Amino acid sequence: SQKIEQNSEALNIQEGKTATLTCNYTNYSPAYLQWYRQDPGRGPVFLLLIRENEKEKRKERLKVTFDTTLKQSLFHITASQPADSATYLCARDNYGQNFVFGPGTRLSVLP
């Protein structure tokens, strides 16, 4: 079965630093990897997606990479702020099918 692992259950960093979250997948590379943010008591909100043939994608302070050799995606938040504190979810998207979410990493940005 296709699995998604996010290697840190929780991550604490200091405000202003870069947060780096890791997502690893098993078996074949999905067509896309997607990243979502989830705040307590709310549904996830989409942040970024990256295609299998893309190495890197950026959006404002966010950057996502996709390494098919390592079967890994890295999610970076630069100049982190306390408002970035949330749970971040990685998901594999194989053309809409077999959509699998990882367990999430709870990020806390300390002032």
Interface positions with other proteins (CB under 8 A): 31-32, 34, 36, 42-46, 49, 51, 89, 93-97, 99-104
Helix (H) or strand (E) segment spanning residue 62: strand 62-67
Judged by beta carbon, residue 11 or residue 31, the one nearer other proteins is 31
Scored b (16 or more CB within 10 A) or e, 17-27 reads eebebbbbbee
Least distance (Å) between residue 33 CB and other proteins: 11
Least distance (Å) between residue 15 CB and other proteins: 25
Judged by beta carbon, residue 21 or residue 102, the one nearer other proteins is 102
What CA–CA distance (Å, rounded) separates 107 from 45? 15
Least distance (Å) between residue 45 CB and other proteins: 7
